């Protein structure tokens, strides 16, 4: 039966894979993987022998039409990313949109994603929030930060470890040194940690202790 399944995968701890996700990955005709080497370890762990095909940010534009035709022919495809839910700061949106436009059934399974546990354990208000993902590296960064400085809702960012100091410095400059910040690092993994405090305090912490691993930053909204 023609269907695209969007399947979340663990963000670190392999035990966070759901029973349903394993069943779907075993039953589909093809798995689209962001990095087949990374996903190959997951599939081997759960004894999943389904064929994989590479699908990432550098080839997804070229593959969309071809994949839509495959789905129209009657096959089922599962899409996974290296970690978390596809299309959330990862490839996946283009194919999902194309399937919707072509009236191909799309089913997204619930599962792992990094920002939800980071938001919940931050201790900052989570009744209303905005997800920003990665800030622009250069062009548009200053404009975006100035706009977000006025945002009253809690803000969620993703960041790489080598850019965290720069981003926290920007927060001190544009949001104020007293703005509350929570940084969650290596979620679900052995060295998981969350550092909470003002932007200045968290910046000082990571200036003295350079971070490693995947990072989610939660910033309190303007009061």
Cβ atoms of 179 and 203 closer than 8 Å? no
CA distances from 149 to 87, 164, 178 (A): 26, 18, 13
Ordered strands of the 154-159 beta sheet = 129-133, 154-159, 215-219, 180-185, 193-198
Q: What is the pLDDT of residues 110-137, one digit of tens each?
A: 999 999 999 999 999 999 999 999 999 8
Q: Give the pLDDT confidence score for residue 98 in this predicted structure.
A: 96
pTM: 0.92
Across 21-127, the runs of DSSP E, i.e. the strands, are 30-33, 52-54, 76-80, 106-108
Helix runs in 53-128, H state only: 60-72, 93-101, 115-121
Instruction: Please report the domains of the chain, with CATH numbers, ordered by start residue.
Output: 3-108 (3.40.1010.10), 115-219 (3.30.950.10)
Taking 70 as the pLDDT cut, the residues of the chain under it are none
Q: Give the pLDDT confidence score for residue 89 in this predicted structure.
A: 85
């Amino acid at each position: 039966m023609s269907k695209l399944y969007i399947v979340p995968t663990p963000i670190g701890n392999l035990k966070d894979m759901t029973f349903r996700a394993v069943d779907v990955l075993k039953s589909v005709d093809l798995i689209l993987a962001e990095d087949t080497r990374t996903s190959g370890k997951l599939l081997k762990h759960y004894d999943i022998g389904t064929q994989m095909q590479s699908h990432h940010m550098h080839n997804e534009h070229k593959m969309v039409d071809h994949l839509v035709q495959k789905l129209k022919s009657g096959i089922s495809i599962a899409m996974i990313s290296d970690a978390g839910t596809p299309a959330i700061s990862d490839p996946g949106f283009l194919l999902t949109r194309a399937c919707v436009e072509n009236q191909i059934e799309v089913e997204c399974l619930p599962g792992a994603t990094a920002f939800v546990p980071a938001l919940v354990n931050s201790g900052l208000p989570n009744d209303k929030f905005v997800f920003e993902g990665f800030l622009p590296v250069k062009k548009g960064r200053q404009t975006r930060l100035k706009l977000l400085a006025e945002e009253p809702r809690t803000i969620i960012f993703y960041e790489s470890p080598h850019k965290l100091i720069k981003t926290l410095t920007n927060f001190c400059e544009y949001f104020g040194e007293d703005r509350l910040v929570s940084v969650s690092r290596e979620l679900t993994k052995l060295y998981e940690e969350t550092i909470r405090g003002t932007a200045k305090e968290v910046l000082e912490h990571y200036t003295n202790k350079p971070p490693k691993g995947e990072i989610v930053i939660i910033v309190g909204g303007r009061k």
